[in-house]
Copies of this chain bind each other. A is one copy, B any other.
Amino acid sequence: MAVTIHDVADAAGVSIKTVSNVVNDYQHVRASTRARVQEAIDRLGYVPNLSARQLRSGRSNTIALIIPYLRNAYFAELADTIMRTADAHGLRVVIEQSDGSRTREFDFLEGPGVRTLDGVLFSALGARQADAELLASLPVPTVLLGENILDGPLDHVTMKNTDGVQAATRHLIDRGCTRIVALGGSRGQRGGSGVLRMAGYEAALVDAGLPFDEGLVVHVADWFRGTGYTAMRELIDSGVRFDGVVGFADSITHGALRALQDSGLAVPDDVAIIGFDDIDENLYSLPTLSSIDPGRSEIAEVALRFLVERIGGSTEAPRTHLAEFAVRERQSTARI
């Protein structure tokens, strides 16, 4: 059997309360007592039982991060950033993959596992605006990342989807592009990132006095590389002409880039292309991929700050924070 607080107490000749005080860095413990207890802890190799601590205190110092897919580089990089930021708050992070399924999202959010957590960061993909009410009655503090549910009952930290894509589109226009493909527009729900990003595309066209051509809008069902590849191949094969592409996620944009090249189109000479997310891969692809940096570390920092405040009992009205974005210019949109 493992060493318990009682064993330490016996060995040090004190009560378990005193051992607990030492373990938890309680201030008012006589130095000599503390030393004696610490010696016993070290000698016996005592390690506190977190299950017991959690059952009693109701706190686990652990939060969950719900994301759709770990294989998607954007989410893997987000998870990494969040884990490191959480570390600084003394919080551990467990990652849940939802596969973008609303059912899986809520199975987790309402299941027994979530109650062992101090809070949740929820990057929703399946959940909709209509689920706002369900989100209002979750058992633990939750902060939303990403889109889909706007003006909901929860703190919400995300990126400037519309402004970012508008800047990306303007970047292509400034470069001389006039027929720009919007890759990743989704027929999806109001408030989904596909829709928000589409708005940025349209706004940039309006600003520049360029016509909006429905034939340049490519819808996709998901954001895997292969989906971007297939969609771009089909567009090219359909005979549509264009000189720029703004991809709504780097993953599909890399697929599209490859499709352009397979079709004999030179990038950026024939077609300039820019993505969104600024994943590590962009720095080493051929050509390197211009992208919108959505401010991942700002998102991680603010989301954790909000969550820690809620865990601490804050009952402020729900807040929304949009991280600053930046255009990262690389070879795929270089001037010829």
A contact residues vs B (CB 8 Å cutoff): 2, 47-52, 54-55, 60, 69-71, 73, 76-77, 79-80, 83, 92, 94-95, 97, 110-113, 115-116, 139, 225-226, 229, 254-255, 257-258, 261, 280-281, 283-286
Contact = CB atoms under 8 A, between A and B. Distances in A.
Nearest to A71: B80
A111 B280 CA distance: 32
A311 B76 CA distance: 29
A115 B47 contact: yes
Q: Is the interface of A mostly helix, strand, loop or mixed?
A: helix
- Identical copies of this chain, number: 2
Contact of A284 (B69, B76, B111, B254): B254
A56 B266 CA distance: 65
B73 A69 contact: no
Contacts of A257: 284, 286
A80 B73 contact: no
Contacts of A94: 92, 94-95
Nearest to A83: B97
Contact of A225 (B50, B112, B255, B283): B283
Pairs A-B, 9 closest by C-beta atoms: A76-B76, A51-B55, A51-B54, A258-B284, A94-B94, A70-B80, A286-B286, A225-B284, A71-B80
A50 B116 contact: yes
Contact of A70 (B83, B97, B261): B83
7 contacts: A55-B55, A69-B80, A70-B70, A71-B77, A94-B95, A258-B284, A285-B286
A311 to B, nearest CB: 16
Contacts of A111: 47
Contacts of A285: 258, 285-286
A76 B83 contact: no
Contact of A261 (B2, B116, B286): B286
A283 B47 CA distance: 47
Nearest to A116: B50
A76 B279 CA distance: 14
A115 B49 CA distance: 7
Contacts of A77: 71
A269 to B, nearest CB: 15
B280 A50 contact: no
A2 B71 contact: no
B92 A50 contact: no
